[in-house]
Amino acid sequence: MTDVYAILGFPVGHSRSPIMHNRAFAALGLAAVYVPFAVAPEKLSAAISGIRALGMRGANVTLPHKSAVMALLDHVEPDALAIGAVNTLYRDGERLCGTNTDAEGLARALREASVQLAGARVTLLGAGGAARASLVGLARAGAARITVVARRLAEAQGIVAELASAVQPCELCALGLADVSLPQIFAATDLLVQATSATLNGGPAAEAFIAGLPVAALPASAVVTDLVYRPLETALLRAASQRGLRTVDGLGMLLHQGALAFERWTGRAAPLSVMRAALLDAGS
C-alpha cells in the first residue's frame, strides 16, 4: 500500500516540495508519494475532511491556508499557536495535528552554516508569518535579543507584544524601517534575517528596498540571511557579500523545514543530501 502525502496551497504549482519529498521517499525505498493540491480557500475545510477520510498520514500547508487550517485540526502544537500558523499536518492516532517546522527549520539551517545563535543579537526584517516563525525559532535557539523591523512601527510592535511572553528570556524590541536609530541597531547586529517578500524575484523594487537599509553599518562579523530563495542570491545577499560579510541563502530553511516534516511523518532520518539536490534541480 502506498502512503499519500500532499501540499495544500492556492496556488501551489510553484512548490518545490513534491520533488524534494518524492526523491527522499525513493532514496529510502519507502512506498509513498507526495502530490500538490490546489485548494481554494473556500474548499479548505472539505480538503481537510478528505485527508481524514482517506487516512492520509500527513500533509504540508502553504499560503493562504497556514492560519485558517488551525481551526480545522484536533490539536495544534504550542509554538505553532504562538506563531499563528501551521505548515505541517501529521497523525497522532485518530487525531489530525498541526505543527510549524519553519521555526526550527531556520535554526537548523543556520546551525548547519555554523552560525552562532546562542546569545546572538538579531535584527529581523518583516512582520508577516515568516518573520513570526523566525522570531520563535531564533528565540528557542538562544538568541539574546531580537529587534523586529517593519515598514510600519505598529506592525513590529504588534509582533513583539504578542510573542514576548512566549519567547522569554529573549529580549524583543520593535522598530520602524524609517527610524533614525536603525543604523545603530545594524551596527550592534550579529545576525540579520530578511523575512519579507521584498527581495523576491529581484528587480528594481528589491534593489530599492536594499538601498534603504544601512547594510554598511553591519559589523564585519555579522551574518546575513534572506529567507527568499528565488533568486538564490538576493539583492541583500549580494550587497552583504560585496561587503565581505558571511551570507546564508534561503534554500537551507526550505530544506530543513521539509526534513523536519519528513521525519515527523516517517520516523526516519531525512536524506538531506538527496533533498538538497532535488531542490537545486527544481530551481534550475
In what helix (H) or strand (E) does residue 96 lie, and over which residues does it extend? strand 95-99
Q: What is the pLDDT of residues 223-254, one digit of tens each?
A: 999 999 999 999 999 999 999 999 999 999 99
Is residue 153 located within the same domain as residue 216?
A: yes
Is residue 108 located within the same domain as residue 92?
A: no
Active site residue 66: yes
CATH number at residue 13: 3.40.50.10860
Is residue 226 located within the same domain as residue 276?
A: no
Name the packing angle between helices 235-242 and 204-211 (round to 10°).
Answer: 50
Q: What CA–CA distance (Å, rounded) separates 51 from 22?
A: 19
Give the domain range for residue 114. 104-249
Is residue 95 located within the same domain as residue 108?
A: no
In DSSP notation, 190-220 reads SEEEE-SSTTTT-SHHHHHHHHTS-GGGS-T
* Contact of 86 with 106, CB cutoff 8 Å: no
Is residue 110 located within the same domain as residue 240?
A: yes
CATH number at residue 174: 3.40.50.720
Q: What CA–CA distance (Å, rounded) separates 21 from 23?
A: 5
Q: What CA–CA distance (Å, rounded) separates 22 from 40?
A: 24
Is residue 80 located within the same domain as residue 139?
A: no
Q: What CA–CA distance (Å, rounded) separates 122 from 137?
A: 12
Indicate yes or no: pTM above 0.75.
yes
Q: What is the pLDDT of residues 131-158, one digit of tens each?
A: 999 999 999 999 999 999 999 999 999 9
Q: Select which of 21, 65, 66, 108 is catalytic.
A: 66
Q: What CA–CA distance (Å, rounded) separates 28 from 25?
A: 5
Count of the separate structural domains present in the chain: 2
Is residue 69 located within the same domain as residue 44?
A: yes
Is residue 177 located within the same domain as residue 273?
A: no
